[in-house]
Structure 1
């Protein structure tokens, strides 16, 4: 695998998937400190959000892939994060998504996830990946299904039960 120390930039119709910049932190921390983050280890303190923010940057350095920051093209606002995660102790790389307050319900998670999944399959060799989803997170379950992922099995993530959805293998050259 080729190490990608900086996230490549991907453009979609409405979004820019790009690397982290410090000005993203306020939106990142607002999500991390809110109840909306309960399915991804939150809510968390400002300090824990800062550590998670830095870990996202470090993931690119260590693994050669990671989660992109999602920027809304027309407003320039930070709209969320999407991409590949493979933390120590995880079964395999995961496609994950977090869409921030004010940007949900507009199809941005779908748009960003399709772009990230395609890029990961083409350039990182990550094809047919999984998503760990808390079954109570009905919006993420619906998105996984819309992305063509199917329920594979019950698993565990960070000591908590979850459902594992398998994304389709993409025909990439």
Structure 2
């Protein structure tokens, strides 16, 4: 079984999910906070969503990470690079648990996940599918350098009224000595 690699940032640890992550993630997915993701989700649908993103590591070699604070181990959310069957491209997406807003955790975790995608997946671009009106996710996508991509294909069955696509590009290789390490 392939598991998520552990990635450390200044304040966070991105790690493979464990069972104790499910309850706080369902608290988010089962609440109105999930309205921009098609929720609120039932317990069953939350389980299937989390299990699919964790299982993607075995199937695709990428998936979601749990985000925990390095200083106290608190689960603050989830970030992932996922490509379910109905997505035309791999997406970087995020979920923040209640009570952790305004600390920049999602931006920090997503930036680390993007660096992993560029270096380990060899990805040259990823998208973020965002529901119109989700200004917080738009802000994160823009802080990460994402730009709206009106020509991008949409997930199966979705229209431009349902989804805005933000595209994230890998930074160009400058050819410096690091490129040869």
In the superposition, the TM-score normalised over structure 2's length comes to 0.88
Mapping for residues 116-127 of structure 1, pairs under 5 Å: 116-127=113-124
Q: Which of 97, 100, 106 is residue 97 of structure 2 equivalent to?
A: 100
Superposition deviation, residue 89 in structure 1: 2.1
Aligned partner of residue 157 in structure 1, secondary structure: coil
Tell me if structure 2 keeps the 8 A contact 1:120–1:126.
yes
Deviation at 1:45, TM superposition (A): 1.1
Distance 1:39 1:157 in 2: 15
**Ranges of 4+ aligned residues in structure 1 off by more than 6 Å:** none
- Which whole-Å CA distance do the structure 1 matches of 2:77 and 2:156 have between them? 22
In structure 1, distance between residues paired with 2:36 and 2:42: 15
Q: Which residue of 2 aligns with 1:55?
A: 52
Alignment partner of 2:149: what SS? strand
Unaligned runs of at least 5 residues, structure 1: none
CA contact (8 A) 1:83 1:117 kept: no
Between Structure 1 and Structure 2, how many residues are aligned?
170
Q: Greater CA radius of gyration, 1 or 2?
A: 2
Deviation of 1:171 after TM superposition, in Å, equals 3.4
What root-mean-square deviation, in Å, do the aligned CA atoms of Structure 1 and Structure 2 show?
Answer: 1.6
Whole-Å Cα distance in 1 between the matches of residues 86 and 49 of structure 2? 17
Q: Which secondary structure state, in structure 2, belongs to the residue aligned with residue 167 of structure 1?
A: strand
* Structure 1 counterpart of 2:155, from 154, 157, 163: 157
Q: What is aligned with 2:19?
A: 22
> In structure 2, how many angstroms separate the alpha carbons of the residues matched to 1:41 and 1:77?
26
Aligned partners of 2:38 and 2:156: how far apart in 1? Answer: 9
TM-score (norm 1): 0.92
Residue 7 of structure 1: aligned partner: 4
Does residue 43 of structure 1 match 2:44? no
Partner residue, 1:31: 28
Out of 78, 81, 86, the position equivalent to 1:84 is 81
State the alpha-carbon separation in 1 of the partners of residues 27 and 156 from structure 2. Answer: 23
